Amino acid sequence: QDGLKRCLSEFKQQLAWVERLDVTSGQVVDPVSQSASNKDAIDPENDFQREMSFYRQAQAAVLEALPRLRKLQVPTRRPDDYFAEMAKSDQQMQKIRQKLKSKQEAMERSEKAKQLRAMRKYGKKVQTEILQRRQKEKKNMLNAVKKYQKGLSDKLDFLDEEQSSSQGNKKGSASQRIKKGPNAKRRYKNQKFGFGGKKKGSKWNTKESFNDVSSFRSKVAHNKGPGKAGKGGKKALNKRPGKRARQKMKSRAR
């Protein structure tokens, strides 16, 4: 060990720093990763960590050296018009640039393909929606035509819906009467069974129809509200007696 030290002292050259340009430094403290004090914890097997530690060491050296160089008036930046031979030939740099470009293109292509696939899926969905909407419109239109044929509505307003109801009130009153036309019950049945006959495959009891309590009138069901005649009349007619009671009534009546 002493031999080493002796040798070193003999061998060491006393040159100005400018000649040697050496910097011994720790690393730039990275806010994300460990500081320079934990350098021993760097796992040499972890390539990325190792290379990042080298990079940081170089950075620290550069940050330390550049001001010194500037003070000593050694130029560090190459002016843009200074053309000289580079360590790697232009051909080599061209190759490198090509490789980088091709990699980027490949990535872009894969991204585009992914996007295209997503778009196609969405497009398909939209298309089916549009088709369904068109079919519905067609159906409505046909129904309206049939209605007109059956003479229920003399207005041909289904042909162009943009026409506003500016027909005037006289015709409006006549049409209103016709609009009411059939009974609510009849209308309901027409809508359900339609003019084209019974609708194919429509179930009687689906979950929705079962859960649909919109036609429930609480006062009607519990016989609570005022009778049809208003005051005075009892609504005994609504409350139909049961089978036994009716039979008894019949037999009693006989």
Partner 1 sequence: GKWKNKERVLIFSSRGINFRTRHLMQDLRTLMPHSKADTKMDRKDQLFVINEVCEMKNCNKCIFFEAKKKQDLYMWLSNTPQGPSAKFLVQNIHTLAELKMTGNCLRGSRPLLSFDPIFDKEPHYALLKELFIQIFSTPQYHPKSQPFVDHVFTFTVTDERIWFRNYQIIEEDASLVEIGPRFVLNLIKIFQGSFGGPTLYENPHYQSPNMHRRLIRLSVAAKFREKQQVKEVQKIKKKGSKVLIEEDPTEVVFETPAEEKPVEIQLVKPESKPIVKDKKKLRKIQRKKQKKLFRTE
CA 102 to chain centroid = 32
Query: What six digits make up the tokens of 181?
Result: 């036309």
Complete DSSP assignment for 146-211 = HHHHTTS----TTT-TTS-S-S-HHHHHHHHHHHH-S-HHHHHHHHHH-TTSSPTT--SS-HHHHH
**CB closer to partner 1 out of 32 and 237:** 32
Contact flag: residue 71 with partner 1 (CB under 8 A): no
**CB closer to partner 1 out of 86 and 237:** 86
Residues 41-60 that bind partner 1 (CB under 8 A): 42, 44, 50-51, 53-55, 57-60
Q: Pick the binder of partner 1 from 30, 34, 52, 69 (CB under 8 A).
A: 69
The torsion angles phi and psi of 125, rounded to 5 degrees, stand at: -60, -50
**CB closer to partner 1 out of 44 and 242:** 44
Contact flag: residue 75 with partner 1 (CB under 8 A): yes
Return d(Cα 132, Cα 124) in angstroms, integer. 12
Binding mask 190-229 for partner 1 (x = CB under 8 A): ----------------------------------------
**CB closer to partner 1 out of 10 and 160:** 10
CA 194 to chain centroid = 39
Contact flag: residue 8 with partner 1 (CB under 8 A): yes
